[in-house]
Chains A and B, each alone.
Chain A
Amino acid sequence: MSTHSDMSEAAPALVPCWSCKGPVASRALFCSTCGAVQPPGQTDHFMRLGLMRGFDLEPDQLQKQYFGFQRRLHPDRFATRSPKERALSQQQATALNEAYEVLKDPLRRAAYLLRLAGRVVNVEEAATVNDPVLLMEAMEMREALEEAETADDVAELSAKAEADVASCVRSLSKAFAADDLDAAGSLTTRLKYLGKLAEEAKARRIRLTRQGI
């Protein structure tokens, strides 16, 4: 699926193993000579979890890879080892958790892919939106939410918001597959807003159902 090829196919960079001081590939998790756990090193989240770089990701596959790496690298596996090994395993597990959290969420995954491609989409902060269609949609949704009085009305709006999110994710998948980064960029912004609306609708639905208990 991915068109962004790996940086290089050349021989892997070598660094001295901190424990036995011999050569070890900079991306290796363990030293091939002495078996010591290595520091996490610089790599992208996909490679860290042994996955192909791309937007389409099977949640089961992601979880399986994540569990597989954590099984070997989690600090619980190093509880009786030397302090240095414990610290490194914590760094490794931290890096795995970060990769997992980013890749698990379609919005963060899309923004991350764009960043890897040299484009900036900040999903954390409010970016200026200059898409009039999106602005209009958001306004209409908020108005509808404010006017909705019964739990059923809100549930309907909430379901619609969820459907919008799902459809936007499908469009994003197509855009990334076609390597259309401009489209992917604006869809990512769109996904962010749709996600927010879906959250608001959900929060409202929960408040309404809670009152009914």
Chain B
Amino acid sequence: MLLQIHEPGQTPNPHANDKVAVGIDLGTTNSVVAIAREGEAEVLRDAEGAGLIPSVVSYGDDGSVVVGRAARRDLLGNPDGVVSSIKRLMGRGLTDVKSLAGTLPYELDEAAEGGMVRLRVAGRTLTPVEISADILRAVKAQAEETLDKIVDRAVVTVPAYFDDAARSATKDAAKLAGLDVLRLVNEPTAAALAYGLDNQAEGLYAVYDLGGGTFDISLLQMEKGVFQVRATGGDAALGGDDFDHAIAEHFLAERAAVVGQKAITSAEVKQALATARMAKECLSSSPYGEWFIEMDGETSKHRLEREEFETLAEPFVARTIAICQGVLEDAGVVPSEVKGVVLVGGSTRVPLVRKRVAGLFGQEPLADINPDEVVAVGAALQAEALTVGSDTLLLDVTPLSLGIETMGSIVEKVIPRNTPIPVAMAQEFTTYQDGQDAMLIHVVQGEREMVDQCRSLARFVLTGIPSMTAGAARIRVTFSVDADGLLTVSARETVTGVEQEISVKPSYGLTEDEMANMLRDSMVHAREDMEARLLAESRVEAVRSLLAVQAALSVDQDLLSADELGVIHAAMAEVERTSREGDRAAVQAAAEALETATKTFAERRMDRGIRNALAGVSVDRLNETLAEEP
């Protein structure tokens, strides 16, 4: 062989083996990171053996950032500088968050420009994306320390019910933390993957995922390594945190009866919540307990029995059960058809939750994989599948319908929920006034009929519509949802062929400028990272072109004279050399030179192909025979 050629992804790179891909469960309460090797996943633990990293960030007045258990300990000492449950605010606007006012122990920056909500923490103004990025940086650092390798790529999980804005925000956070997101995977799907591979499951499974701040229910069909999501549903603002809030309110009401009604600061709310959390965890195993709340030098004592706790939690659990019933109905499935129920999320430890789930499905749910770690395990398996390869495949769906605002503020659905992704669907709209040259396109997500009851994702104006009579223009709006569940919308006027494509970023996402600024401000040498990524990408592309030419030569080399072959070989050698040691410009220049050098060769190959086809020789040698595949 003339040249040594490597498969894409195995480019000769001395550091290639030191860089690995992990799976990250970026949770409301805790985050977990895991790695899979040859189908075996392992949760990465710290020196003390803990796999859960509390999703809590403590910002010091001196500019320090502490994440995890140490930050959680700061909750009482430095309550104003500590942020927890930030996932609840991902992709949310100020108006969304106001509806949660009073339940959030944060101070919001009301004056902030733009759609995304901002928090005032320790004298700084931070977006949920930046705070999540701080958590991801800590997760990445822990993984790197445990593995003694560079972690540069990850599969990050999101609640299935996360809308587009929240998904984009999560991806942006990973980017800020210096992680290349291989794929966003839905948490229940990841959990099913962890179970399916272990148990060789076949049939219909339900995944009930009650985390700190989100609830998801998914129905999956598992068939010979293919995991097909049949239906999914949930609530992005329902979880174990609600139990804490209910208990905290109960305690504070009791306390008010003893020490009198007083204004409560957000720091005190945090303290009450921390006590409530302890009570909840304790009552999952004990029938009763007693706690003390000390504020303003006054201590109050609170006794709570499990039965009382269950009364407080019942409305929230009932909501999850109703959502489960809706999803079963969506899929046209009765509970008895479900072969197994997988429990995910720390909140499924609450006995009441297990009791109600068992009641609905008529069977004891599965919980043999630690419900706190199962999502990260599935994510790690998927990270390995994406980088190394795998026999399994995940086929996921859109969790919420996507639509567009039409006359009278009515939503016209373009992509219904539970549609398999990736998907692209187009709908035609027209102008309603003579000579109308612009059109506002308002994209919403949700199941309701009126625009104001759905979530507004983006608004953009399509301009330059040629002047026509009302109803004559044909504006084709295309919605594309990629395998990460992220949406792109484009629009085009089809009658005159005037094309205008606009990709939109969600209203509550970060703008490109904001993202660039944050990248510059962050400590991760983002510019170099970005450049390194682009270089890697151009190398992959160069190696691809090299392999393609080599494949072509192996069948049609006889079409070339010795001189012509020499020119091509020289161009190949140059691509090979630059992809090993050149910068991006050199790699691209060499790839272009190779393309030019092979132009005549390509033409002759086409001519030969056509001559052969006319002579009845099929070139369709790889005629797919998929039905015979195992």
Residues of A within 8 A of B (CB): 11-12, 14, 16-17, 19-25, 27-36, 50, 63-65, 67-72, 74-77, 79-85, 90, 93-94, 97-98, 100-101, 202, 206, 210
Instruction: Report whether B606 and A23 are in contact in the complex, using a CB–CB cutoff of 8 Å.
Output: yes
Q: Bound state CA distance, A119 and B23, in angstroms?
A: 50
Q: Bound state CA distance, A58 and B8, in angstroms?
A: 39
Which of chain A's residues has its CB closest to B549's CB? A20
Q: Bound state CA distance, A65 and B613, in angstroms?
A: 28
Which of chain B's residues has its CB closest to A19's CB? B548
Interface size of B by CB at 8 A reads 61
Contact of B602 among A12, A16, A32, A90 (CB under 8 A): A16
On chain B, the residues within 8 Å of A210 by CB distance are 322, 325
Interface stretch, picked from B86-94, B458-466, B615-623, is B615-623
Q: Bound state CA distance, A72 and B620, in angstroms?
A: 18
Contact of A24 among B616, B619, B624 (CB under 8 A): B619
Q: Give A19 Cβ to nearest chain B Cβ, in Å.
A: 4
Which of chain A's residues has its CB closest to B603's CB? A21
Instruction: Report whether A22 and B626 are in contact in the complex, using a CB–CB cutoff of 8 Å.
Output: no
Contact of B540 among A19, A33, A81, A98 (CB under 8 A): A81
Q: Bound state CA distance, A202 and B329, in angstroms?
A: 9
Known A22-B602, A22-B606: A79·B626 in contact at CB below 8 Å? no
On chain B, the residues within 8 Å of A80 by CB distance are 8-9, 386-387, 540
Q: Bound state CA distance, A67 and B423, in angstroms?
A: 16
Known A11-B613, A22-B609, A94-B424: A28·B622 in contact at CB below 8 Å? yes
Contact of A33 among B385, B483, B555 (CB under 8 A): B555
Which of chain A's residues has its CB closest to B599's CB? A21
Instruction: Report whether B609 and A206 are in contact in the complex, using a CB–CB cutoff of 8 Å.
Output: no
Q: Bound state CA distance, A24 and B623, in angstroms?
A: 11
Known A20-B549, A21-B605: A79·B183 in contact at CB below 8 Å? yes
11 more A-B contacts (CB under 8 A) besides A28-B624, A34-B548? A11-B616, A14-B619, A21-B606, A27-B620, A28-B622, A33-B551, A50-B627, A80-B9, A80-B540, A81-B8, A83-B537
Known A25-B620, A76-B183, A83-B541: A69·B419 in contact at CB below 8 Å? no
Instruction: Report whether B386 and A79 are in contact in the complex, using a CB–CB cutoff of 8 Å.
Output: yes
Q: Give B11 Cβ to nearest chain A Cβ, in Å.
A: 10
Q: Does B552 contact A (CB under 8 A)?
A: yes
Instruction: Report whether A206 and B483 are in contact in the complex, using a CB–CB cutoff of 8 Å.
Output: no
Contact of A20 among B385, B537, B548, B616 (CB under 8 A): B548
Instruction: Report whether A70 and B226 are in contact in the complex, using a CB–CB cutoff of 8 Å.
Output: yes
Q: Give A116 Cβ to nearest chain B Cβ, in Å.
A: 19
Known A34-B552, A75-B482: A12·B620 in contact at CB below 8 Å? yes
Known A34-B552, A76-B393, A82-B544: A97·B385 in contact at CB below 8 Å? no
Instruction: Report whether A72 and B552 are in contact in the complex, using a CB–CB cutoff of 8 Å.
Output: no
Q: Bound state CA distance, A77 and B423, in angstroms?
A: 17
Contact of B606 among A14, A19, A31 (CB under 8 A): A14
Instruction: Report whether A97 and B422 are in contact in the complex, using a CB–CB cutoff of 8 Å.
Output: yes
Which A-B residue pairs are the 3 nearest by beta carbons? A23-B609, A21-B602, A20-B548
1/0 contact trace for B318-350 toward A, CB 8 Å?
000010010001000000000000000000000
Q: Does B598 contact A (CB under 8 A)?
A: yes
With most chain B CB atoms within 10 A of its CB, the pick from A50, A69, A75, A79 is A79
Known A75-B482, A80-B387: A67·B609 in contact at CB below 8 Å? no
Instruction: Report whether B541 and A35 are in contact in the complex, using a CB–CB cutoff of 8 Å.
Output: no
Q: Does B421 contact A (CB under 8 A)?
A: yes
Interface hits, B251-310 → A, CB 8 Å:
none
Count A-B contacts at CB 8 Å. 158
Instruction: Report whether A20 and B552 are in contact in the complex, using a CB–CB cutoff of 8 Å.
Output: yes
Contact of B423 among A21, A85, A98 (CB under 8 A): A98
Known A22-B556, A50-B626: A82·B8 in contact at CB below 8 Å? yes
Which of chain A's residues has its CB closest to B555's CB? A33
Q: Does B629 contact A (CB under 8 A)?
A: yes
On chain A, the residues within 8 Å of B385 by CB distance are 76
Q: Give B501 Cβ to nearest chain A Cβ, in Å.
A: 15
Instruction: Report whether A12 and B8 are in contact in the complex, using a CB–CB cutoff of 8 Å.
Output: no
Q: Bound state CA distance, A143 and B385, in angstroms?
A: 55
On chain B, the residues within 8 Å of A25 by CB distance are 619-620, 623
Q: Give A41 Cβ to nearest chain B Cβ, in Å.
A: 13
Instruction: Report whether B541 and A84 are in contact in the complex, using a CB–CB cutoff of 8 Å.
Output: yes
Contact of A90 among B224, B325, B422, B622 (CB under 8 A): B422
Q: Does B108 contact A (CB under 8 A)?
A: no
Instruction: Report whether A23 and B540 are in contact in the complex, using a CB–CB cutoff of 8 Å.
Output: no
On chain B, the residues within 8 Å of A22 by CB distance are 552, 555-556, 602, 605-606, 609
On chain B, the residues within 8 Å of A21 by CB distance are 548, 552, 598-599, 601-602, 605-606
Could you show 6 A-B contacts with beta carbons less than 8 Å apart? Answer: A11-B614, A12-B613, A20-B549, A74-B395, A77-B393, A80-B8
Instruction: Report whether B395 and A70 are in contact in the complex, using a CB–CB cutoff of 8 Å.
Output: yes
Q: Does B573 contact A (CB under 8 A)?
A: no
Q: Bound state CA distance, A106 and B547, in angstroms?
A: 44
Q: Does B410 contact A (CB under 8 A)?
A: no
On chain B, the residues within 8 Å of A81 by CB distance are 8-9, 540, 544
Q: Give B579 Cβ to nearest chain A Cβ, in Å.
A: 12
1/0 contact trace for B551-568 toward A, CB 8 Å?
110011000000000000
Instruction: Report whether A206 and B386 are in contact in the complex, using a CB–CB cutoff of 8 Å.
Output: no
Q: Give B437 Cβ to nearest chain A Cβ, in Å.
A: 27
Q: Give B36 Cβ to nearest chain A Cβ, in Å.
A: 14
Q: Give B547 Cβ to nearest chain A Cβ, in Å.
A: 7
Instruction: Report whether B226 and A90 are in contact in the complex, using a CB–CB cutoff of 8 Å.
Output: no
Which of chain A's residues has its CB closest to B545's CB? A19
Q: Does B223 contact A (CB under 8 A)?
A: yes
On chain B, the residues within 8 Å of A32 by CB distance are 619-622
Q: Does B54 contact A (CB under 8 A)?
A: no
Which of chain A's residues has its CB closest to B537's CB? A83
Q: Does B196 contact A (CB under 8 A)?
A: no
On chain A, the residues within 8 Å of B548 by CB distance are 17, 19-21, 33-34, 36
With most chain A CB atoms within 10 A of its CB, the pick from B182, B482, B541, B626 is B626
